[in-house]
Amino acid sequence: MNSKALRSVKAVIKNAIKISLSIALVAATHAQDLKSDWKTVDQMSAQDKALFDPNHATPRDASIPYIPAEKFPFKAPYTAEEMGYRSAQFSHISRWSHSISDVFGVVTSSGYVNQGEWACFVDFSQPGIEGYINSPVGQELGRWMLYETFPPESEGAQQLWIPIRSDKVEKKRLEFFYYSPSMRRVRRMPEPRRDQRFANNAQTLDDVMGRDPWEFKWELLGTDVLYETARFPATRSSITWNEPGKGFVERPVSSIKLMGDDFDHYTSDGGVETWVLKATTKEEWLPDYNEKYLIVWVEKHTFFILRREKYGHDGRLITIESRMSEKENPALGDLGYTSKMGTYWNIDHDLISYSFHDAHQPRVWSDEQKNMIFKAEFMPREWLFEPIPSQLRLDSPDEFFLRPHLYPDKFPNYRNTTLPPDVQSRYQQQETAKKLVFETE
């Protein structure tokens, strides 16, 4: 056989190997995503159907005509709209007064990692989604003071967020102040666009502050069981977080459960049963909003949001958010769960963000503390009210969270999980390697 023929044979064999590997990767990905117990509304169990009220036209509140007449937190059977209202309790920032260390980071498709850490002091004068609903439009809801502690060159930078009750007419949701140590001045910043991701991040303002449930049309798609949301790589076997009253506690990642250790409703094989909702934006409330609809997985008893997918007006998948929870405020019962950790995967840029809420502690702020900590004029003092140490930052890109599961088989009539070819390739390789694979690889 001459050299030319030999090269041709080798090329054929090489292509065949590539095709076989590709098929194997797709099969492995599909097998991982296939584990599901999803059911449409028609297929739901009799027990679940008894908890669901299929009515769309329900009585309206006499004083706030765009919300249900039945008072929050409602009683079973629940309409899809009431489920959406219950889930709105669980925004990224807990809707009660507390302090946390917010450890966050982002990794690009090339493997570049940027991380930060803030000591966050949060005051809610009107706590919970119920407090938000019942607040007068335009009223200040509380104040959040964020003090940057990492990276070192940014230490002392501060942000003051003042959330505001908004509606269709009064749209302002946030007063926002920023203090720069290098400039030694406080600046009032323009309100970020709600649907645009922050610079160098996959999160939007609405991802952080929460969405108003009356701005969406709610539909129940069915039920599902989730076993994994935020996904640790095989290269990270444990984490160390700061538990108030206990100090630093090391936990194997395999021991971390979706709803925490004290949750009473795990399935026999460790899954979490969820309602699956579709929330479509109302044009009259959100004109020109970037997201056309959301698909949301909410835990059946608490209605905590464990997974959320955002879709654009062209039907493409924009972002997948995956969360794990802990009951950080037991005094509130089922309303006391909060986001312990979460990841946000922006598909267009293959950009993954993470956020850990460490050392969560419910607080009751005194008037003296409120007048000291939560004032813009106090920021130039560069005084950190209370250090909140954490050991949750990552040491390398190999420790970063995985891209979330796609679950292409679930509710296919409502979900488009098609990825750009290069992103799909990295996703498939990740599923085999059990760690992130970047474009340079």
pLDDT digits (tens, 9 = 90+) for 32-67: 444 569 999 999 999 999 999 999 889 999 999 999
In a domain, 352, yes or no: yes
In a domain, 417, yes or no: yes
Domain count across the chain: 1
| C-alpha 279 chain-centroid distance | 16
Give CA–CA dist 309/229, Å, rounded: 12
Query: Please, what is the Cα angle at 164 between 161 and 165, to 5 degrees?
Result: 155
For position 24, what pLDDT does the model report? Answer: 42
Residue showing tokens 């993954």: 352
In a domain, 9, yes or no: no
Structure token pair of residue 440: 């340079």
Whether residue 227 contacts residue 259, with contact meaning beta carbons closer than 8 Å, is answered with: no
Q: Go through 25-40 and write b for each residue having 16 or more CB atoms within 10 A of its CB, e for each that does not.
A: beeebeeebeebebbe
For position 200, what pLDDT does the model report? Answer: 86
Give CA–CA dist 259/324, Å, rounded: 6
CA atoms within 13 A on the CB side of 391: 11
Give CA–CA dist 350/266, Å, rounded: 32
pLDDT of 106-125, one tens digit each? 999 999 999 999 999 999 99
Give CA–CA dist 119/372, Å, rounded: 16
Polymer length of the chain: 441
| C-alpha 382 chain-centroid distance | 30
Structure token pair of residue 52: 């669901």
Read off the pTM: 0.91
For position 241, what pLDDT does the model report? Answer: 95
Give CA–CA dist 345/352, Å, rounded: 4
Amino acid at 112: Y
Structure token pair of residue 203: 């999160």
Q: What is the CATH number of the domain that holds 160?
A: 2.50.20.10
In a domain, 381, yes or no: yes
In a domain, 92, yes or no: yes
pLDDT of 384-408, one tens digit each? 999 999 999 999 999 999 999 999 9
For position 374, what pLDDT does the model report? Answer: 96
Sequence-separated (6 or more) residues with CB below 8 Å from residue 422: 350, 439
In a domain, 259, yes or no: yes
In a domain, 7, yes or no: no
Whether residue 303 contacts residue 325, with contact meaning beta carbons closer than 8 Å, is answered with: no
pLDDT of 215-249, one tens digit each? 999 999 999 999 999 999 999 999 999 999 899 99
Whether residue 399 contacts residue 235, with contact meaning beta carbons closer than 8 Å, is answered with: yes
Q: Which domain holds residue 158?
A: 35-433
Whether residue 86 contacts residue 92, with contact meaning beta carbons closer than 8 Å, is answered with: no
For position 36, what pLDDT does the model report? Answer: 62
Give CA–CA dist 97/360, Å, rounded: 10
For position 115, what pLDDT does the model report? Answer: 97
Ranges of residues in the chain whose predicted pLDDT is under 70: 1-36, 441
Query: Max alpha carbon distance in the chain (Å)?
Result: 90
In a domain, 274, yes or no: yes
